[in-house]
Structure 1
Amino acid sequence: MPTPTDDDALFAGTRAMFALPDGVIYLDGNSLGPLPSNVAARVARTVQAEWGAMLIRAWNDAGWMDLSGKVGDRIGRLIGAAAGTVMVADTTSINLFKVLDAAIHLNSERSVVLSDTGNFPTDLYIAQGLTARLPGRRMLRTVAPEDVMAAIDDTVAVVMLTEVDYRTGRRHDMRAITGAAHDAGALVIWDLAHSAGALEVDLAGTGVDFAVGCGYKYLNGGPGAPAFVYVAPRHQDGIAPLLSGWIGHAAPFAFDPDYRPAPGIDRMRVGTPPVLSLEALDAALDVWDGIDLARVRARSILLTELFIAEVEAACPALTLASPRDAQARGSQVSFRHEEGFAIMQALVARGVIGDFRAPDVLRFGFAPLYVRPEDVKSAAAILAEVMDGRLWDRSEYRLRGRVT
């Protein structure tokens, strides 16, 4: 029997901080993180002792107005960003809209936003919509993920990429691409939706210009948790937000008729902060206190390598869609099968929760804070049973809801 390690003890401790349902192996934290045990009490306290007892005074007395920056700084530690460079507000899509517009105007003599064909659709939609409405011949250009470096030229104003591909887990080389973009005179925006809390990120060290990401995946902030936005210090006071809302004003409660952007990262705020969601996310981040991301990443690699080995040995009909090189993928593993949707529904019915991405991808996320090696082996064994017995071949497993 293997000897327990220090990492086993560390991650047993973090697992105990989640309210995980009995009989479930949860491999979908790359879509929605599970509930940390302390969140419900925090939200209840905010509702009862702050909103209920303090009423509107809580904006000052309970520090509600400072939550966006406070939580931003906590996330900043997980993504290699200095204090005062990350703000929590709005959604990933809205934050991307803000920074993409800012970057285009900082590099206004160029016309191209460069992305890749594997990028998450909402990122591409935001870029399509924004470039179509800006003056001049702005355009979104997409290339295959492996062709990004070669496509960076002197027409590119902004390189806009998601570090970890949402379907396959393929990981871009942030340092190399950021360096190449800067050498060519372009700015860079990174979407960290599948990176923050899953692997080591060093925004300051790699010289990234802008970044965005969500709070509800590996950060476990709950469904619809607010997103975060990063702006490098060198850009903060030189950008004029297109979404110039009152909370991003230099003096919101002066109620000036004209907009003046707040100094620094505060200008990336728009409207009234979602206090209950911010409190939930803040509480969820407690699990990260004192956690070394290098240990999380090492454990992630152990889990994903184990899953690939177990599944490939037992399920020859499934084709690996993720990079085989652990350093070239994030904290997820994807397999392809033409009946992928039905297979996933059969797994969910047996207590193994992953998800499906069209057209044929079974997607499994591995969050070391609560996923154990024994969970990986059990999930692979159940998957083998489903495949060997064609247990997926039932009409109810082909019924699709609005969310897959």
Structure 2
Amino acid sequence: MTTPSDGLGAGSPAPVLDRAACVRLDDADPLRSLRDEFLLPPGTIYLDGNSLGARPTGAAERAQEVIAEEWGTGLIRSWNDAGWFDLPAKLGEKVAGIVGGGAGTTVVTDTTSINLFKVASAACRIQAADAPERSVILTQRENFPSDIYMLEGLVEQLGDGYEVRLVDDAEVAAGFPNALTDEVAVVVLTHVNYRTGRLFDMAETTAAIHAGGALAIWDLCHSAGALEVDLAGAGADMAVGCTYKFLNGGPGSPAFVWVSEALQTRFSQPLSGWWGHRQPFEMEPSYTPADGIRRYLTGTQGILSMSVAEVGLDVFGRVDMADVRAKSLALSDLFIELVDARLSHHPVEVVTPREHAARGSQVSITHPEGFAVMSALITRGIIGDYREPEVLRFGLTPLYVGYADVWDTVEALREILDDRLWDVPQHKVRGAVT
């Protein structure tokens, strides 16, 4: 495996196959102190930050401050006095620094699905003006389903021959040799596959999309805060993402939307609410979009959740994303190495790519009884999650996951599989959320 001290690609150090060596790696970890920035229950190994990040230290206090002081005492004055009105843009600047967006390109608002609807609609309208013969939205077959659903809903609204077409990940990785026809107007891609953890090369893929005459929209839900992203450098057109996964914003915390400077004023977005108006407090009866990225706002923002999300974002002001990425790869190298060495006698397969350039910040493995196995693991205080079909996902958040955590997780998996501890009724009962 590669360790942070080795440097990426700096040779092939000896395998790390004992817990003591993992503890030594934790002791030498330059990001070790950041674990104190998060509050996790004692005895818990949390490997589901790719679904919901851990609670940052200070999040509860910030929520109490907003409730008791800014709302309780300041009341409506806090829209000005506490800076509530400016929060979408203020937080957007912090997100832009994490995803390589540049100043004035990002706002934090709404949900990922709603933001995708906004930018996909805007992109289609831009293409309708520039290339009216193009009416296909292309997206991954293995995209997160909500993205596909929103695109299907959009083409119903657009009518006039618009359609959604699905493309396999292998076709995307190969540079669209067949799918990117002259009918395609917009391509919507998830940067990291939510199920397998496969990472796509943003710069190369965006270049291929542009060469085919289409616009590129990226979903960054599984990459923002987990690896280095350079939207502007990659030449992307638009992007969306959430703050509740690797950015640790809290359950249901607001998402973000990014639009390149060149496209921000080409068309207004379809959900033309008053917060996106050029002069919202003039109360004009007709809509005039704001200049720049603020036009992608819609209605009144959720100030409590937005204020709490800022606590998680502020942690990233103290880290270098290159260090985060290096540790992420080292952790996933170790995880894959241990699965290969300790679970090979079971029907387990690593479905996450082994190549660094094609790997996000999770390790996904399959097992025929994946749901029950994950349930048994969670009862031990090791929390990952399950996705159909048969996929156990382990999100590796470098800010609070360590090397010994990885060792302990695979060791617990070995015991659960060796002793068939998953094969009891309690581990086969599914709740509403899996």
Matched, 1:179 2:199: no
**Distance (Å, rounded) in 1 between the aligned partners of 2:404 and 2:29:** 14
Q: 1:171 to 1:9 in 2, by over 3 A?
A: closer
Structure 2 residues without counterparts, runs of 5 or longer:
1-19
Contact 2:352 2:359 in 1 (8 A): yes
Q: CA deviation at 1:315?
A: 1.3
**Distance (Å, rounded) in 2 between the aligned partners of 1:240 and 1:269:** 10
Matches within 5 A, 1:179-198: 179-198=207-226
CA offset digits 1:239-271 (Å, max 9, x no partner)? 121100011111111110000001100000001
Percent identity reads 51
Amino acid at match of 1:326: H
Matches within 5 A, 1:195-210: 195-210=223-238
Matched, 1:351 2:381: yes
Choose from 377, 388, 392 the match for 2:422: 392
Matched, 1:120 2:115: no
**Distance (Å, rounded) in 2 between the aligned partners of 1:29 and 1:242:** 32
Matches within 5 A, 1:363-402: 363-402=393-432
Q: Matched residue of 2:263: which SS?
A: helix
Amino acid at match of 1:343: V
CA offset digits 1:160-190 (Å, max 9, x no partner)? 0001000000111111110011112110000
Matched, 1:34 2:64: no
| Counterpart position of 1:74 | 94
Q: CA deviation at 1:152?
A: 1.5
**Distance (Å, rounded) in 2 between the aligned partners of 1:312 and 1:356:** 20
Matched, 1:107 2:127: yes
Contact 2:140 2:167 in 1 (8 A): yes
Matched, 1:52 2:76: no
Matches within 5 A, 1:5-404: 8-108=28-128, 109=132, 110-148=134-172, 149-150=176-177, 151-316=179-344, 317=346, 318-404=348-434
Contact 1:197 1:219 in 2 (8 A): yes
Q: Over the residues paired in the alignment, what is the CA RMSD in angstroms?
A: 1.3
Contact 1:43 1:276 in 2 (8 A): yes
Contact 1:38 1:284 in 2 (8 A): no
**Distance (Å, rounded) in 2 between the aligned partners of 1:119 and 1:286:** 29
**Distance (Å, rounded) in 1 between the aligned partners of 2:167 and 2:83:** 45
Amino acid at match of 2:326: A
Q: Matched residue of 1:235: which SS?
A: coil
Q: TM-score, normalised by structure 2?
A: 0.91
Between 152-161 and 206-215, report the one with greater CA deviation.
Answer: 152-161
| Counterpart position of 2:11 | none
Amino acid at match of 1:323: P
Contact 1:354 1:365 in 2 (8 A): yes
Q: CA deviation at 1:326?
A: 2.3
Q: TM-score, normalised by structure 1?
A: 0.98
Contact 1:171 1:330 in 2 (8 A): yes
**Distance (Å, rounded) in 2 between the aligned partners of 1:205 and 1:7:** 35
Contact 1:35 1:220 in 2 (8 A): yes
Contact 1:25 1:353 in 2 (8 A): yes
Between 258-267 and 287-296, report the one with greater CA deviation.
Answer: 287-296
Q: CA deviation at 1:135?
A: 3.0
**Distance (Å, rounded) in 2 between the aligned partners of 1:154 and 1:4:** 55
Q: Matched residue of 1:158: which SS?
A: strand
Q: CA deviation at 1:143?
A: 1.4
| Counterpart position of 2:17 | none
Contact 1:159 1:187 in 2 (8 A): yes
Amino acid at match of 2:42: D
Between 284-293 and 245-254, report the one with greater CA deviation.
Answer: 284-293
Q: Matched residue of 1:309: which SS?
A: helix
**Distance (Å, rounded) in 1 between the aligned partners of 2:414 and 2:397:** 22
Q: CA deviation at 1:324?
A: 1.7
Q: CA deviation at 1:9?
A: 4.8
**Distance (Å, rounded) in 2 between the aligned partners of 1:371 and 1:283:** 19
**Distance (Å, rounded) in 2 between the aligned partners of 1:127 and 1:383:** 38
Amino acid at match of 2:288: R
**Distance (Å, rounded) in 2 between the aligned partners of 1:62 and 1:8:** 41
Amino acid at match of 1:263: D
Q: CA deviation at 1:8?
A: 3.8
**Distance (Å, rounded) in 2 between the aligned partners of 1:92 and 1:378:** 34
CA offset digits 1:13-55 (Å, max 9, x no partner)? 1101101111111000000001001111111111111101110
Contact 2:25 2:403 in 1 (8 A): no
**Distance (Å, rounded) in 2 between the aligned partners of 1:297 and 1:284:** 18
**Distance (Å, rounded) in 1 between the aligned partners of 2:56 and 2:393:** 23
Contact 1:18 1:36 in 2 (8 A): yes
Between 323-332 and 28-37, report the one with greater CA deviation.
Answer: 323-332
Contact 2:26 2:403 in 1 (8 A): no
